[in-house]
Structure 1
């Protein structure tokens, strides 16, 4: 028998959570399920906590026992159970990279749509290397060049997601404040904003700017967040950039709150950057117009 996992990944924990949810909805206890399948309640609890795995056959048997007839969900759970999680992020299994960073990279790779709100920094997947390094130097002044370079290397590897053969849909809403922050050199910020416009040319990328002078007061959030949508809504996740709390939100009620907030932000923000619409680009009441105005000031 394999030993228990000391640090389950977010994918492994999420699989266990979903199995626990299905069991709770069925009204069955861990003891009765274990008796039916021939293992202990403790073993089932370890599966539901992500501390041990489960075979595809036993997972399907559990789903049948729980009365789950949602075939696409069962297939997704089986895929989660069979994944070894050894994507490119596995190469970054040493400091300064931590478990949450690797979990985020795996979750991004599994998602079909990203909806990201940022109000201080540019979104990580849209940053230039020099902008990243300036951020890391500012945020970790006690670090060294090697540490900063490894952070940059990891984030740059995450960015490939947007230009792969089958990229996810990516929608970023960025507060005007992020374009006006002065903790990076002006030249670095200018090139970063120009890169932002270039990224908006991609067919799968949408960029909106939320101006200081918005027509309505948008939903207030103290932390940036990223709605990472799976192929099935039941498996969606929100990643919240917070220094101490668990960054992954999976509660369905909270997921709905974040999704609704992003929709409201999209309605309040300026129309998306459209480099092919020259007339709209002349007006500051579009994202492109505001970006061009800020570039002129730089």
Structure 2
């Protein structure tokens, strides 16, 4: 297959995982090239996601690297082929690549877990609330930039409403629920929408109230995208400059899983959280 000049995060991740398998097998790039019957440049292109592979080729590479984890091999094979022409591709020329990659990750996710302190989770925001957030960005966005961001965010939310949607677990802080972005009407509409979304069978919302004694977080927002196998999970971190940082090292994944588990344990349960949101609606 011809080289891919602009590989998606998904293809880059496939290459990175194949590199990990090579390193675990103790092969240098030169040794791997000899083992696979290709030149060193081809191995490098594979490991940077710039060379597409067939599922059979991935299985052959895994076999050459003595990988016996069938679940992982199957998951890697499923990531092969040409780039899926999903709805997110229309935004590739208008938004940062990381935001487009995030939508693709969510589309393929086996599950989604998010934690935010100061904001409502993006997939649970109303159009009016999201627009108010984008208008508050520094430096200010142009109107067309706001609309691109807004439509992209709303389309991302479709993952929660499709047939066989992934389970979605969101932890948010009371401070996020009390923020008045867009004014009282927008705030009330957002809280009602959040309450309604929390009643979907695939959606779980938990609130951490102000009087919680233990809060295991620095306040940084992050998404935990669950892959088909734990090795293919991904953490997405929001950054102050508006981009996305992606983490996938085993130690990093383990740390953020533990943080989420601790946050869930100190948050109100789903039913208590719904009651809490309802009380805020009545006070708004």
TM-score range, shorter chain: over 0.9
Identify the residue that residue 104 of structure 1 maps to in structure 2.
102
Output the TM-score relative to the length of structure 2.
Answer: 0.94
Identify the residue that residue 2 of structure 1 maps to in structure 2.
2
Aligned mates of 1:201, 1:222 — CA distance in 2: 26
Tell me, yes or no, if structure 1 residue 220 matches structure 2 residue 236. Answer: no
Identify the residue that residue 37 of structure 1 maps to in structure 2.
36
> Post-superposition shift, 1:246?
5.7
Identify the residue that residue 136 of structure 2 maps to in structure 1.
138
Identify the residue that residue 282 of structure 1 maps to in structure 2.
none
Provide, for residues 107-127 of structure 1, a one-character-per-residue CA deviation record: whole Å limited to 9, x for no partner.
001111111101111100000
* Alignment partner of 2:226 out of 224, 229, 237: 229
> Post-superposition shift, 1:289?
2.9
Length, aligned pairs only? 283
Distance 1:189 1:10, change over 3 A: same
Aligned mates of 2:45, 2:226 — CA distance in 1: 27
Tell me, yes or no, if structure 1 residue 88 matches structure 2 residue 74. Answer: no
Provide, for residues 160-192 of structure 1, a one-character-per-residue CA deviation record: whole Å limited to 9, x for no partner.
110111100001011001011133311101100
Q: State which drifts further: 158-167 or 34-43.
A: 34-43
Distance 1:3 1:165, change over 3 A: closer
> Post-superposition shift, 1:93?
2.1
> Post-superposition shift, 1:32?
1.4
> Post-superposition shift, 1:36?
2.4
> Post-superposition shift, 1:234?
1.3
Aligned mates of 2:236, 2:132 — CA distance in 1: 23
Aligned mates of 2:42, 2:23 — CA distance in 1: 17
Tell me, yes or no, if structure 1 residue 271 matches structure 2 residue 269. Answer: yes
Kindly indicate whether structure 1 or structure 2 has the higher relative contact order, using CA contacts under 8 Å at least 6 residues apart: 2
Q: State which drifts further: 169-178 or 69-78.
A: 69-78
Aligned mates of 1:38, 1:116 — CA distance in 2: 43
Aligned mates of 2:79, 2:274 — CA distance in 1: 40
Structure 2: runs of 5 or more not aligned: none
> Post-superposition shift, 1:205?
0.4
SS at match of 2:51: coil
Output the TM-score relative to the length of structure 1.
Answer: 0.90
> Post-superposition shift, 1:140?
5.0
Aligned mates of 1:90, 1:246 — CA distance in 2: 17
Identify the residue that residue 277 of structure 1 maps to in structure 2.
none
Identify the residue that residue 177 of structure 1 maps to in structure 2.
175
